[in-house]
């Protein structure tokens, strides 16, 4: 009997060893909660900007998408280098920090650079950028998904069958050259086309690429309310720890083209556990993908087609 027990123990050890690498594969979540920030929202925003600057980041924009929330966008030389090394790396050229008044005080949270690097298929994993953010803003751990996703899952991510992948980008408008494309986007955002306004712009070094963060108000001519940041977040950002760093949406000017990510991907990558049906689900924002696309076409300087 003792010999048989030793045999079973050996088999168990071998099985664990064989399963070890797969079982230990690291899983990632979209956001990281920073250190607690007291009760004063304005003071917390000022402190976040100061800490980002002290940590080697450049604040490129901020906005208040709705009452009680401020989003601060920042970049760094490391982020811009990583963006330049990837064809559509502009989508990952900025980190987003949400400062949100909640029941437990002012929450600070930010996008997880490692998660986003894999989701946007960037070279490397931006672990150094994550370490710099954690040093500057603190860390109470990742959140935004129950189990998280592996690097492999993120790099081929889509929400459900027949839903878009990262490379199923929306081709919004095409221009004769990069300079005119950037100028057209700047002009459209300045006049609030599609209910959109500029939050930030980051130019990617060494290539004809620029990323714009845009506030979507949902109040543009011919654009449904449900394209708006507040409309969407009021329905799906319902948990105690807020996922406000989901905002803002991005437009990327890449050479002559202006592109964006379809809402079915861009929203899902921030809310991968969101149910398809029921309360606080994707069904509750069913009108959003088409409305967001129309808003972004207008924000890119294009004409929205009438239904």
CA–CA gap between residue 44 and residue 31 (Å, rounded): 18
pLDDT, tens only, 283-294: 999 999 999 999
Any domain includes 266 = yes
- CATH for 145: 3.30.310.70
Residue 293 domain flag: yes
Position 7 scores a pLDDT of 35
Of 90, 96, 111, the residue nearest 166 (C-alpha): 90
Q: Using an 8 Å Cβ cutoff, are 85 and 3 in contact? A: no
Q: What is the DSSP string of 219-266?
A: -STT--GGGSHHHHHHHH--SSS--GGGPSEEEEEETTEEEE--HHHH
Whether 21 is in a domain gets the answer no
Find the mean pLDDT for residues 267-278. 94
Beta strands in 49-162 (DSSP E): 58-66, 69-75, 95-102, 105-111, 142-143, 149-150
Looking at the predicted structure, is the pLDDT value of residue 307 above 70? no
Residue 15 clears pLDDT 50, i.e. is over it: no
In a domain, 7, yes or no: no
Position 112 pLDDT exceeds 70: yes
Distance between CA atoms of residues 108 and 94, nearest Å = 17
The pLDDT, as a whole number, for residue 240 is 95
Tens digits of per-residue pLDDT, 192-216?
999 999 999 999 999 999 999 999 9
Query: What residues contact 95, with CB distance under 8 A and at least 6 apart?
Result: 57, 73, 74, 75, 79, 110, 111, 113, 129, 133
In a domain, 49, yes or no: yes
pTM above 0.75, yes or no: yes
- Domain residues for 33? 27-299
Burial of residue 280 (number of CB atoms within 10 Å: 0-12, 13-18, 19+): middle
Cβ atoms of 232 and 248 closer than 8 Å: no
Instruction: List residues bridging with 32 in a β-sheet.
Output: 110, 142
Does residue 145 lie within any of the structural domains? Answer: yes
- With respect to residue 190, please indicate whether it lies within any of the assigned structural domains: yes
* Integer Cα distance of 78 and 123 in angstroms: 12
Residue 73 confidence (pLDDT): 98
What per-residue confidence (pLDDT) applies to 104?
A: 83
pLDDT in tens, 142-189: 999 999 999 999 999 999 988 999 999 999 999 999 999 999 999 999
Q: What is the pLDDT of residue 140?
A: 97
- Residue-wise pLDDT for 245-266, tens only, equals 999 999 999 999 999 999 999 9
Give 46-99 pLDDT, tens digit per residue: 999 999 999 999 999 999 999 999 999 999 999 999 999 999 999 999 999 999
pLDDT in the model for residue 25: 85
**Residue in the block written with tokens 């604040």:** 59
Mean pLDDT (whole number) for 106-113: 98
For residue 161, the model assigns a pLDDT of 85
- Indicate the pLDDT class of residue 110, thresholds 50, 70 and 90: very high
Backbone angles phi, psi at 163, to 5 degrees: -90, 155
pLDDT at 118: 97
Total of domains in the chain: 1
273 lies in a domain? yes
Rounded to a whole number, what is the distance in angstroms from the first to the last CA of the chain?
77
């Amino acid at each position: 009997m003792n010999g048989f027990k030793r045999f079973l123990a050996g088999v168990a050890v071998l099985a664990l060893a064989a399963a070890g690498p797969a079982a230990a594969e690291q899983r990632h979540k979209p956001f990281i909660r920073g250190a607690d920030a007291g009760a004063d929202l304005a003071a917390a925003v000022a402190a976040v900007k100061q800490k980002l600057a002290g940590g080697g980041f450049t604040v490129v924009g901020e906005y208040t998408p709705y009452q009680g929330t401020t989003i601060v966008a920042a970049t760094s030389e490391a982020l811009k280098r990583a963006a330049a090394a990837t064809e559509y790396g502009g989508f990952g050229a900025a980190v987003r920090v949400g400062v949100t008044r909640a029941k437990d005080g002012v929450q600070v949270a930010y996008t997880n650079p490692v998660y986003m690097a894999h989701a946007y298929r960037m070279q490397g994993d931006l672990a150094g950028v994550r370490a710099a953010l954690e040093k500057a803003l603190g860390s109470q751990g990742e959140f935004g998904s129950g189990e998280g996703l592996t690097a492999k899952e993120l790099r081929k991510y889509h929400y459900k069958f027949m839903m878009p992948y990262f490379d199923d980008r929306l081709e919004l408008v095409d221009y004769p050259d990069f300079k005119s494309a950037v100028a057209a986007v700047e002009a459209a955002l300045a006049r609030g086309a599609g209910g959109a306004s500029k939050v930030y712009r980051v130019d990617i070094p060494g290539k004809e690429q620029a990323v714009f963060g845009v506030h979507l108000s949902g109040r543009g001519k011919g654009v449904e309310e449900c394209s708006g940041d507040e409309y969407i977040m009021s329905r799906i950002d319902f948990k105690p720890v807020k996922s406000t760093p989901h905002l803002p949406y991005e437009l990327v000017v890449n050479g002559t083209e202006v592109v964006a990510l379809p809402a079915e991907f861009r929203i899902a990558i921030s809310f991968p556990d969101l149910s398809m049906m029921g309360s606080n689900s994707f069904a509750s924002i069913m009108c959003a993908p088409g409305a967001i696309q129309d808003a972004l076409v207008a924000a890119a300087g294009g004409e929205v087609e009438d239904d």
